[in-house]
Chain A
Amino acid sequence: MTGIIKKIISSILTIAVVACLVFMAFSLIPGDPAVAKLGTQATPEKLAALRETMGLNKSVPARFVEWIAGVVRGDFGTSYSYSMPVTKLIADKLPVTVILTLYSFILMIAVSVPLAIVAARYENSALDKTIQILSQITMSVPPFFGGIIITLIFGLGLKLFAPGGYVSYSVNAGRFLGYMFWPALAIALPKVAMAFSLLYGGLTTEKRKDYARTAYSRGNSTKDVFYKHLLKNACIPVITFFGMALADMIAGSIVIEQVFSIPGLGRILLTSIQNRDYPVVEAIIVCIAVLVIVSNLLVDILYRVIDPRIITED
């Protein structure tokens, strides 16, 4: 238990450090956002007035204290280009990215676990070999190209969904989830292949151990031996990968949003990078950092639940 508390405290510290680094990085960038907004032809009076409203005339440490105080209250300042509070700007886009990430994570587990069990059960069969080759190829497909292929085959070819026909979750949750299945699949596929090969390696090692034979001798069916006995032990090394995959999927969803025209964090992050709208970029990076750190924390806790031996090592 103390191990988990320690982890939570260090996660909070990490988030704080990341927030500081992000602010420092963006305040070191040369160039004046006021000039960028008004253009080089602007009168000095107008520039000074804008700097005043943007809070740029204060020293960097003073702005930092103000920014951090705001972030703690969930206030990320005002966007340069949209002239509205950043928090309001990203509040309804954050859930889209989070749902897409979780959707792909669930798909990854739902596909890779049964696939690995089938392949490991019929080791060296034609079915096993086919799955192996397919997984090796899938592993090399980057999600954004996977997304294009999915659009081409299932969207334009088979007409199973309308490319670009995104429906907001607040309008129609069912159609939202139906549309999000395809981008989630594009993100999940390469991860499915990697999770598959790790699980497969674990299962084929575990199934040769004595306890597996004992489980059979006690009258368990093959399905029970794999799902109830082998899977848990084969999962332990794979959980670290699941954690990294979850973090990777957050990055993946930012890219895949562009393929499927989904208005999530990714699109606003990209336009803000191009417009040099730093308050928005800072806010989104901090949000993503929190997502990554929290997902790492959850994986760590899961690890302890599945493999209690780890506690004695603390």
Chain B
Amino acid sequence: MDDDTSDFGSFYEADNEDETNTIINMSYKVLVPVKRVIDYAVKIRVRPDKTGVETANVKMSVNPFDEIAVEEAIRMKEAGFASEVVAVSLGPKTVQETIRNSIAMGADKGIHIETGTADLQPLGVAKVLKKLAETEKPNLIILGKQAIDDDANQTAQMLAGLLNWPQATFASKIEVDKANNSVKVTREIDGGLETLSMKMPAIISCDLRLNEPRYAKLQNIMKSKKAELKVQTPQDLGVDISNKIKTISVEEPAKRSGGIKVDSVDQIVQNLKKHALI
């Protein structure tokens, strides 16, 4: 029971803080786009007509990298750097689930861009996010580095290009310097780490080792179900999200042929020689 009261206390405190932060310059907004994808543990099956993967009756969850992004934004809020965390998602009505999940984790607001069942591609998403960045005026946009379904790894980069903001991809550590209005990001690159310092507003895409996402409390999950979401359509924003790339066919990788058991070292050597491996 103790937990309950303390939870309510902090909830109201946060509300009051928002009200006192009336000066716009003081508020520090973080925009976090989240994507609903097939759960990481599910075995992916290709549709028989090769148009895509089977999504009907498949367990869906928040893209793990986006979860990391949400967690990072919430940690920024808890550390006092950010005043508001806004979660955004594009897609049919079912994506509200992912937005609510982020709200349950600790995001303040949710925006749902209703696109129906239309197939979305990174460029379209980046255009929508650009419009949102112009209207919401976030100081930071934190994204997952890629979605685990299409593995495009493009949205953050395209968004940075469209907005002409500095970007740091594959972040494994983020330090905000509010006084200088800059952010220091450590990136994971081939063979080491790279540290960038950039002026805000900026775009950051998260890598796997940035943090460990928390689990939402059940109580917050129930609360998030009642949260008001701002619903907009791409038409409202005046954005064309039509696809520029056509998927010709989606196919399963070739099945691997089984290995054989060898009894002796000689046989191994023989086989390796046969396949010209030694």
Q: Do A and B bind each other?
A: no
Binding site for B on A (CB under 8 A): none
Binding site for A on B (CB under 8 A): none
